[in-house]
Structure 1
Amino acid sequence: MNSAAKLIIGIIILLIGLYWYAAPLFGHNGLQNIIGHSTFDSFKVVFAGLFGLLLIFLGAIVAWIEYEDIKWERKEKKEKPAEDEEKPAKKKK
């Protein structure tokens, strides 16, 4: 499947997802009748349940990236003086 087809499928899925939550705003309550409660209420419950987990993962990823950055900077500082010693000093004319 080429990229254009995947793009079209992605846009269609995006629009279906938006309609899932926006349908009651347009007066289409078919989904609400099938499920038995508002899809937006379901979204709020799931969001409230997953928000803390999202913060945990986001915080862990940020901390891990910064830890790796600190390690990289320390490694560069250790290598830089060694490189300076290897280079001969330039003589002034």
Structure 2
Amino acid sequence: MSTFQVAHIREQGQDMIIIPLDSGFNHKSSAEQNQIIAELQACASSAGLAGTVVAVWRVGSSHKFIAPRQWQEFFKSFSWNDIVRNVNKDLTCG
């Protein structure tokens, strides 16, 4: 089982499940990244967390994310410290 610290927030009228991931996520293929996000989405839903999973990870002194198109600007303005500051739940996936 893996446990993830997540930020479960409501922004722009939308429930977001922001999951900071290890920087190694950057080296995975798009297919692998999408599969991991799908598994995390299923896990979050099973745990009763409403919303869409957004994967974020560090790349050097910045960060990258995979989020719905309409949320792109929001996440571009969000710093890594903002993400960490909003962590408020643990999500355990088996």
Q: TM-score, normalised by structure 2?
A: 0.22
* Structure that is richer in helix per residue: 1
Query: 1 or 2 for the larger relative contact order (CA 8 Å, sep ≥6)?
Result: 2
Q: TM-score, normalised by structure 1?
A: 0.22
* Structure that is richer in strand per residue: 2
